[in-house]
Structure 1
Amino acid sequence: MNNTTPAALVRATLRLQFRAGMTIDDATALVPQFARLGISHLYASPLFAARPGSTHGYDTVAYDQIDPALGGEAALVRLTDRLHAHGMGLILDIVPNHMAVDAHNAWWMDVLAWGQASAHATWFDINWHDPAPDLRGRVLLPFLDRPLPEAMMAGSLVLRHDGDGGLFHIQHHEHSFPLSPASYAALLAQVEAPGALLAAFTTVALRGGPGAEADSALAALRHWAATQRGQAAMMRLASLHDGCDPAGRTRLERLLAAQPWRLACWREAATRINWRRFFDITGLVGVCVERAEVFEAVHGYLFSLYQRGLVDGVRVDHIDGLAAPAAYCQRLRARLDALGRLRPESALPGAAIYVEKILATHESLPAAWPVEGTTGYDFMDQVSAVLHDARAAPVLDRLWAACGPDARACGLIAREARVQLLAGGFAAEFGQLTRLLATALKARGADCMPAADLRAVLEAVLVSFTFYRTYFGDEVMQDHAEDGAALHAASTAARPRLEARLQPVLDTVVSILSARPEHAPAACVRRAEQAFEHLTAPLAAKSTEDTAFYRYGRLISRNEVGSDPARLGLAVAGFHAGCTARAHARPAAMLTTATHDHKRGEDSRARLAVLSEMAPRWHAQASEWFARNGAETAIGPDRIDELMLYQTMLGAWPLTPFASVTTREAWCERIVQWQTKALREAKRHTNWLTPDTAYEDACTAFARRLAANGAFMARMDQVVARMAPAGALNGLAQTLLRLTTPGVPDLYQGCDLWDFSLVDPDNRRPVDFGLRHALLEHAGSFDASAATWRTGQVKFDLIRRILSFRARYPDLFAKGHYQPLEVEGADRDHAIAFLRQHDGFSLLVVAPRLPLGMEIQADTLAPGRDMALRVTLPQPVGPWHSLLGALPVQATVPFARGQVPLVCLVHDAGGRGLP
């Protein structure tokens, strides 16, 4: 890994979601507030030009400009000026893997206009050699609302001329498909266009591609189309190609046949798509950023911003979508390091590189990637798991099993989802991979075999492959021990499912998929290898995060991005092991507990973790609701969906009573919105493509009936009242651990107060920054905040205090040694303790866990009994200064009755004076 980046400069980040009401100038006004909170870097969602109306920015249409809808580059300059005035920097989220399939994407439109002759034909991951005769050398465009013949007869394909760009288009609702200028001569001849214009486009057809002749011809067409005669001709052409008329339909068919693309119904995308998408989203096309010219085009403007000091670091979206992540990271690091010498003297040193990467439980970030670390999903899993009581598994399993035959083990559910997705949403990608492997097998000298046999072998491997991907297809020589282990585990699991005659095929397939670049495998082998790696990542994401997480309801606080729901809890020793490994390998990795992609808010997860401490009582309560609420007397929900609904309601329940019927109904609307999305993602009774409105309506009616049932709501309120104090302490514990363990803490917008949000779009709602400004202005003691903990100020105060200390003593956190501490006594399971030490400073942190067993008091969050635990310090240290206020009687006996059990103590051996 790269050790030269001054990681200490990135002390703490704040993730801000732009669009949907947040502009760059809006963010600029908030900079002083973030600085006072102790943030060192604003961590911005994508700012480059996106599809008009985008709510998130991941649908990029141009990499060479800041989105005008956000204020453009001028606004970015104002933001960075304000950031630098407060000693802060900017980390920008970039999206090199994919772009929007949109008329505003000039590169994509050029490909549609010119096909393989386009200068951008190889910039997108398009299979120009598709075996289907009608797609060979063409791009499938599955955007019609019905099959092509029906669309033509319905008159929904309309010929239009763009007076500004000069191109003809086929318009279909919001979609615009440019016609190739090579087909314009025959088109214009139908309306007796000027002879010179026809001759010009005859030359264009002869050339077959863009160039000076085409530019000149299009300019002449624009000029003629603007005349009265030309305007009449354009109207005449539209009429001549009206699909509602049989003759017009024939002309339209002939015109469409001459294009470098083929129109199709959107339902054909799953089976016929011949270009790589982002996951299964047909509106996003894969970019070949591994090509040098594409890398430069995608990053050229970013490099300019960095060189000018307007950007200080990057977050790379979906790194596993790239063909060669290691090569990409090395190229990106090298360019940023080289440009660093050209930055203004006033610019911050940099640049930090973070990658969005989902790590399996025993997976580490490849050492060949010269980056600071991941965006923190691995930490989010670890800190959540350590706050769950793994001993509850048998009781929770019994409750889960009572939900019916579909309530199976998480691994089986995920495997079934993979099978379903391979046959459905990823059928085209699966077919392409099978064909590439067949070619590679033939090159290896393997006998020809039926396609069905090869598909059976490949499916067995894919459904058993639990990592996101391997990296054998990368261009960089690197350690493939983890890749090999993952592939071996998948093949071992696949073997019993295959006939004996297919075992040798399995071995050969695995050898192809594990070919290394230094062994110079054939090009067909490399293509098969990369196609496998391009499929496993979206298959893993869609089968687990977007399917199994909505089917497996044992305890949904563990159904989170980056987590394995089958693992209910993590021992304290396991949490320490993760922190120690991170301190050694990636000390500047990002630590997060909430993101724009999380399934539920960080404090909702923390509250639901309490169910693992009260599993028998929860089993009884859920069973009572099953019996009383009558879900199974209607169409739905079934037991699984009902159990997940109850948990969601518990997790999102407000800390203060509903102020009115209106507020209760607004809360119910959020629950219903979540429920509909959850049902469709689960794909059990309904889905996004073919919704079962009867089942969805029944589930909605059930949820609304619960919200209107006074007895149920009162009982829900009682259950939450018991859980909420312990849940709040869990939330404070994970916040404390995020702020003090090795790594850079990230604060997702709005999560400085309690976060009981649901999955997007709920977790992207506007944030009340005015309230947070007022909290900064009227900061009081930590004890006073704890006494009114339901307001969330105690969490805000915890963050403010520790981030302020980090700002004064950054090296203690960036370079400080991490030492787990032994906890002894009958209550030792209730504490996580460690030291951070550097340059004479010692930071002692003791965070609570399993707080329900501590009898946390509802008014103070303090233990309601004496705690029998003692922390063993390596040597006598003192005196201690508390970052949170009052000191315990002894540092070695940290949790005292009557005090909030959060300990963050500092000792300075050098007597330098502490805040």
Structure 2
Amino acid sequence: MNQTNLAKARIPTATYRLQFNEGFRFQDAERIVPYLSALGVSDVYASPFFKARAGSMHGYDIVDHNRLNPELGTREDFDSYCDCLGRHGMGQVLDFVPNHMCVEGGGNERWLDLMENGPSSPHAAFFDVDWSPVKKELADKVLIPVLGDQYGTALEKGELVLSFEEGAFFISYYEHRFPIIPKTYCPLLTHRLQELERLLPPDHEAYQELLSIVTAISHLPFYTERDPDLVRERYREKEVIKLRLAALCRDYWPVKTFIDENVRIFNGEKGNPRSFDLLDGILRQQVYRLAHWRTATDEINYRRFFDINALGAIRMETPRVFEETHRLVLGLVREGKVTGLRIDHADGLFNPTDYFRRLQRSCFLETRLAGLGNRSRAREEEEPAGTLAEGILQLYDEMLEVSPRIKPFYIIGEKILMKNERLPEDWPVHGTTGYEFANAATGLLVDTRNGRRFDTVYARFIHEKPDFPEIAYQKKKQVMKFSMGGEINTLGHYLNKLSETNRHTRDFTLGSLTKALLEVIAHFPVYRTYTATRKVADRDRQYIEYAVARAKRRNPAMSESIFTFIEDVLLLRFHDSTSGDEQEQWLDFVMRVQQLTGPVMAKGLEDAAFYVYNRLVALNEVGGTPERFGITIEAFHGQNIERARSIPTALLTTSTHDTKRSEDVRARICVLSEDPGAWHDCLMRWSRMNRPHKATVQGIKVPSRNEECLLYQTIVGAWPAEDFTGNERDVFVGRIREYMLKAMREAKVNTSWINPDSVYEEAALHFVDTILQDVTANNFLADLRRTLPPLIRCGMLNSLSQTLLKVASPGVPDFYQGNELWDFSLVDPDNRRPVDFAKRIAMLDGLRTAEEERGPLALTRELLETMADGRVKLFLIGKALAHRRANRSLFELGTYLPLEVQGEQSDNVCAFARCHDGAMAIAVAPRFFTRLGVPPLGAAVWEDTRLVIPAAGSGRACRNIFTGERVAMSQQERVATLPLSAVLSDFPVALLEA
């Protein structure tokens, strides 16, 4: 086998995202594999399925990377599910989490060991803990901001509970559990020792054994001890002490009774504050410092995932951490049970490029060992251990020298690209998870001509002119001050330390450096840069220079030299006197800043600004630019051309577990952009109708007009396509309530997660309940029901176009669970509701039977008459994926050719061709259906509008794969054309096989 074949990855043709949790297990997934295969899916795209926090609904809160989640089933269940995938020729792309682990709930053994052994724990280097933090009182300790109240209050309420189990002491706080350091057991074992003497004489063997244990405890090395021999001694002896204590209590009930009574006394008595002094004394000696959750803002000293205290970052840049966390996943790669990887939150890693390189190298080793099969085992027996692996890795390194960009295993990175940003070229990955395509597809459905009119409508309704860049800037600063102040303070002190080494910068104060750094980060135009050596890439240099320049202009009162110093550090412009050690410190500082800018952008932009700027919320999507009112067809084509050139195997998504709204919700909201006047009238009319239902809280009408604007768009977008049945209306109202509560808190304007205003929130939720109350006197609900039908119809047609664009564009189309039918989900957890797969299986079987019995043309006509049931979308996906699978090389390797559209309705169609080795497919996706009418079919709608066919495809007849109809090309003025009146005569979109 030549090196080209060795380096060739298995590329999916289409993926389907499954959300595993205790409600959807491995056995459930196995049952739907035949359905997914019949739908045309080549690979399951699995959410994380390693052991997570108990009850996890998403799997990102992993506690053990090397165990399957027992809540999902047994290893046998998993193997059976994977075998089923294999029988259907399907692969599995796994969502892998390398950046963090869950550190709350007591299920993470590594973290618990750290809590018991501090900086001398073998896992101390595993987690990203600052053992010498800014707050000196936390030296060699870890702040655990888990308490719901101040520490003293929680203690005296009896919420911190001491327990004794199997020879060990623990502290529990509700579901959280922390070990007590054995070195600090002595007070617990010697308190009231004279009382034990009443039960046991001093010469009794049990009494003597207890004293012996106390002596052994006193000789234990302390947890700050770093000497390897002493560390080993402590680990060995503390476990012996626990075993001795357990045996003593098991064999002698007076000792067990004595210790249990001490535990009761140490737990204190409510109403007697002094009674908690004993437990407070024990807690003060622990590695961890339990604290109110608000203290995390300023004093937390372990790196987190964003600002989530429960998710502690791990140091994946450390080789041992990489090896230990990837042991199981690489084993699954070797077994062929994982055929691709999606890497979560790549921007959180210290060095993403290095991580992806190591991952590709490791996956190459495992797949080659699997490929050698029995021969590898035989050679391993004959040759010294490691020789075979070393040979394979040497082969990989040699291949890498010849082809630096080889990617032998399918890996995609979760990377959010901002406007005009490209995926780092040195990442050995097959692309991103597809947020940029989702935004492009949505933007294409927005009528860009109406941007200014929509600005006016929005400004008039909320009585102000919002500026999105300014909102984003302010929200990023707000996040840094109130959610990530600890991280900013730490970096400020680090920067101050760097400034002290040079006489030209040592006069900069800590306060001015910290403020200037905050301003620079607030102006960062991208999530992060990727400096990992002493050479800064040109693109990163541009981003840094832009951010510093904007920060300077924003802060004319601050000394420009401070910003210049920060720019020098971030660009690694060393002074002549900068020593080698100082240069390494500068680089380390830069890499730590890079780990922070991403979370600041995510929390400030996605989770704050996107809930404040509500002009057209379909545009407020992960990786989106809401201030840009849609994109042109030319821009959409340009993005597809670039993707075909640079990352043709990236995922193409329209809905994910992270999207703010499902693809069908966004597609419907986009319809509003086609008629700003009608939307203005709706807003004014509905606001006037509902004004009496607003309450006044501290002089403010609730909800605010901006929140009201968001609410109406949310109701319009999420309203079901079919009438409510049973309790569906109540469920819908509950979903809208939950969404608005989350949206208001994320916006951080009138309430927030940190400082919830319960009175304001209750008033806003009462407004939601009232305006959706199904009573005769509710004029708003009656008006809404009259307004929605055309929006719903056009929204469904938008969704069909969007789906076709995804299937036919360069990349791998990805489908989020359940979205093969209409799905009007909102942000998580709304989009993690159970999926009715039985309904979908029955529908797909029914479509196949109907097509065989009546033919595709009759079926498509029926589907358009019953669009609300969603079968039309399922039909489109099934037919398009079948065609894609049958013509894999055409869609995977084919060139992308935008097609010219001529005629009266030319702006209403996006069309392109995929061409490869003489084969051609043409995708035709209409848009702006309010102008076309419903259904948008035939000559009455399309008149003289036609596609211009390139010379390579001229003279051919084309078959519409949806209807089976053949369409002949026309020759006009020596140019071959296809009339849209024929192409779209019976179905609103077309995929033509030439």
Normalising by structure 1, we get a TM-score of: 0.94
Report the Cα offset of residue 515 of structure 1. 2.8
Report the Cα offset of residue 346 of structure 1. 9.5
Report the Cα offset of residue 554 of structure 1. 0.2
Separation in 2, partners of 1:157, 1:500 = 49
Separation in 1, partners of 2:866, 2:502 = 70
Aligned to 1:182: 183
5 Å matches for 1:418-429?
Answer: 418-429=476-487
Runs of 5+ unmatched residues, structure 2: 194-206, 223-229, 375-406, 697-701, 970-976
Q: Say if 2:694 and 2:767, in contact at 8 Å, map to a contact too.
A: no
Q: Which moved more, 1:281-290 or 1:335-344?
A: 335-344
Separation in 1, partners of 2:787, 2:662 = 19
Q: Say if 1:14 and 1:41, in contact at 8 Å, map to a contact too.
A: yes
Aligned to 1:48: 50
Q: Say if 1:312 and 1:350, in contact at 8 Å, map to a contact too.
A: no
CA deviation vs aligned residue, 1:614-637 (integer Å, no higher than 9, x gap): 111111221222223206852311
Report the Cα offset of residue 85 of structure 1. 0.3
Asked if 1:870 corresponds to 2:932, the answer is no
Asked if 1:786 corresponds to 2:898, the answer is no
Structure 1 or 2, whichever has the larger Rg, is 2
5 Å matches for 1:733-882?
Answer: 733-779=801-847, 780=851, 781=856, 782-857=860-935, 865-875=941-951, 876-882=954-960
Asked if 1:719 corresponds to 2:787, the answer is yes
Aligned to 1:123: 126
Aligned to 2:390: none
5 Å matches for 1:673-712?
Answer: 673-708=738-773, 710-712=778-780
Aligned to 1:73: 75
Supply the AA of the counterpart residue of 1:356: E
Match of 2:978 among 887, 892, 897: 892
Supply the AA of the counterpart residue of 2:239: D
Runs of 5+ unmatched residues, structure 1: 908-915
Report the Cα offset of residue 447 of structure 1. 2.0
Report the Cα offset of residue 407 of structure 1. 5.2
Report the Cα offset of residue 344 of structure 1. 5.3
Match of 1:250 among 270, 277, 291: 277
Q: Secondary structure at the match of 2:221?
A: helix
Asked if 1:369 corresponds to 2:445, the answer is no
Separation in 2, partners of 1:353, 1:400 = 42
Asked if 1:216 corresponds to 2:240, the answer is yes
Supply the AA of the counterpart residue of 1:485: Q
Q: Which moved more, 1:334-343 or 1:785-794?
A: 785-794
Q: Say if 2:536 and 2:572, in contact at 8 Å, map to a contact too.
A: no
Asked if 1:240 corresponds to 2:274, the answer is no
Aligned to 2:652: 591
Separation in 2, partners of 1:877, 1:482 = 46
Supply the AA of the counterpart residue of 2:841: H
Report the Cα offset of residue 81 of structure 1. 0.3
Aligned to 1:528: 589
Report the Cα offset of residue 867 of structure 1. 3.9
Report the Cα offset of residue 402 of structure 1. 2.0
Distance 1:862-1:441 versus aligned 2 partners, 3 A rule: farther
Report the Cα offset of residue 861 of structure 1. 6.7
Distance 1:321-1:225 versus aligned 2 partners, 3 A rule: farther
Q: Say if 2:22 and 2:71, in contact at 8 Å, map to a contact too.
A: no
Asked if 1:399 corresponds to 2:457, the answer is yes
Distance 1:776-1:516 versus aligned 2 partners, 3 A rule: farther
Separation in 2, partners of 1:788, 1:864 = 22
CA-based RMSD of the aligned residues comes to 2.3
Match of 1:200 among 216, 226, 232: 216
CA deviation vs aligned residue, 1:741-792 (integer Å, no higher than 9, x gap): 0000001000001121111111111111111111221113333322321111
Q: Which moved more, 1:709-718 or 1:377-386?
A: 709-718
Report the Cα offset of residue 376 of structure 1. 0.6
Match of 2:571 among 514, 538, 559: 514
Q: Say if 2:171 and 2:178, in contact at 8 Å, map to a contact too.
A: yes
Aligned to 1:619: 680
Report the Cα offset of residue 612 of structure 1. 0.7
Asked if 1:652 corresponds to 2:714, the answer is no
Aligned to 2:165: 162
Separation in 1, partners of 2:54, 2:880 = 40
CA deviation vs aligned residue, 1:100-125 (integer Å, no higher than 9, x gap): 11311000001100000100111111
Separation in 2, partners of 1:270, 1:326 = 30
Distance 1:185-1:665 versus aligned 2 partners, 3 A rule: closer
Q: Which moved more, 1:265-274 or 1:3-12?
A: 3-12
Separation in 2, partners of 1:650, 1:741 = 29
Q: Secondary structure at the match of 1:865?
A: helix
Q: Say if 1:315 and 1:356, in contact at 8 Å, map to a contact too.
A: yes
Separation in 2, partners of 1:180, 1:382 = 55
Report the Cα offset of residue 308 of structure 1. 1.6
Structure 1 ranges of 4+ moved more than 3 A: 2-9, 205-210, 243-248, 344-347, 403-407, 516-521, 860-864, 887-891, 895-898
Q: Which moved more, 1:862-871 or 1:639-648?
A: 862-871
Q: Secondary structure at the match of 1:342?
A: helix
Asked if 1:903 corresponds to 2:993, the answer is no
Asked if 1:279 corresponds to 2:327, the answer is no
Aligned to 2:494: 436
Separation in 2, partners of 1:306, 1:802 = 30
Separation in 1, partners of 2:86, 2:429 = 24
Report the Cα offset of residue 498 of structure 1. 2.3
Aligned to 2:201: none
Q: Which moved more, 1:697-706 or 1:317-326?
A: 697-706
Distance 1:530-1:579 versus aligned 2 partners, 3 A rule: same
Aligned to 2:699: none
5 Å matches for 1:305-316?
Answer: 305-316=332-343
Separation in 2, partners of 1:418, 1:638 = 22
Separation in 1, partners of 2:221, 2:268 = 25
Match of 1:340 among 349, 361, 367: 367
Aligned to 1:910: none
Aligned to 2:23: 21
CA deviation vs aligned residue, 1:239-266 (integer Å, no higher than 9, x gap): 3323435554332222122211212111
Separation in 1, partners of 2:315, 2:958 = 55
Q: Say if 2:134 and 2:493, in contact at 8 Å, map to a contact too.
A: no
Asked if 1:356 corresponds to 2:414, the answer is yes
Distance 1:197-1:863 versus aligned 2 partners, 3 A rule: farther
Identity %: 35
Aligned to 2:622: 561
Separation in 2, partners of 1:877, 1:234 = 93
Q: Say if 1:44 and 1:90, in contact at 8 Å, map to a contact too.
A: yes
Separation in 1, partners of 2:297, 2:550 = 27
Separation in 1, partners of 2:370, 2:572 = 41
Distance 1:631-1:486 versus aligned 2 partners, 3 A rule: farther
Distance 1:81-1:602 versus aligned 2 partners, 3 A rule: same
Separation in 2, partners of 1:7, 1:815 = 14
Separation in 1, partners of 2:530, 2:737 = 41
Q: Secondary structure at the match of 1:226?
A: helix
Q: Secondary structure at the match of 2:913?
A: strand
Q: Say if 2:694 and 2:763, in contact at 8 Å, map to a contact too.
A: no
Aligned to 2:706: 640
Asked if 1:503 corresponds to 2:560, the answer is yes
Aligned to 1:153: 156
Report the Cα offset of residue 131 of structure 1. 2.4
Separation in 2, partners of 1:626, 1:3 = 63
Match of 2:521 among 437, 441, 462: 462
Q: Secondary structure at the match of 1:392?
A: helix
Supply the AA of the counterpart residue of 1:219: L
Report the Cα offset of residue 839 of structure 1. 2.0
Normalising by structure 2, we get a TM-score of: 0.87
Aligned to 1:378: 436
Distance 1:728-1:220 versus aligned 2 partners, 3 A rule: same
Match of 1:451 among 498, 510, 521: 510
Supply the AA of the counterpart residue of 2:883: F
CA deviation vs aligned residue, 1:346-389 (integer Å, no higher than 9, x gap): 99x96311111111011111011101111110111111111111
Q: Which moved more, 1:717-726 or 1:337-346?
A: 337-346
Report the Cα offset of residue 866 of structure 1. 3.0
Q: Say if 2:508 and 2:562, in contact at 8 Å, map to a contact too.
A: no
